[in-house]
Amino acid sequence: MKPTTSEAMQNIISQVKTELPLYDESTFTCGPENSCIGCPKKLMEMLESEVSYWEHALARGTKPNFDELYRFGKMCKNIKRGLVRNNLIKSDS
């Protein structure tokens, strides 16, 4: 049986919390000598904001649509790629 959009969003949030250093202080600092590719600090702040928004929205009973699921999942994937580029997390492959 396929999950509802609310369950799918909760699954994505759970995966983000286990795979990405969401609340790790080291990811909320700027790199030495501006050596960052993209800004991991801003990426993590954006991700934290979106996760918080969706947790509260789901708790209120708001159901995400497929476009919101797609955009949130894509954003998480791109942020993960940025963290890998900055050597803050290891690549899956």
Q: Is 89 left (phi over 0), alpha (psi -120 to 50) or beta?
A: beta
pTM for the model: 0.83
Are 81 and 93 spatial neighbours (Cβ–Cβ below 8 Å)? Answer: no
pLDDT digits (tens, 9 = 90+) for 15-70: 999 988 877 776 666 655 666 777 888 888 899 999 999 999 999 999 999 999 99
- Amino acid 50: pLDDT: 96
Are 3 and 11 spatial neighbours (Cβ–Cβ below 8 Å)? Answer: yes
Q: CA-to-CA distance for 78 and 26, rounded, in angstroms?
A: 19
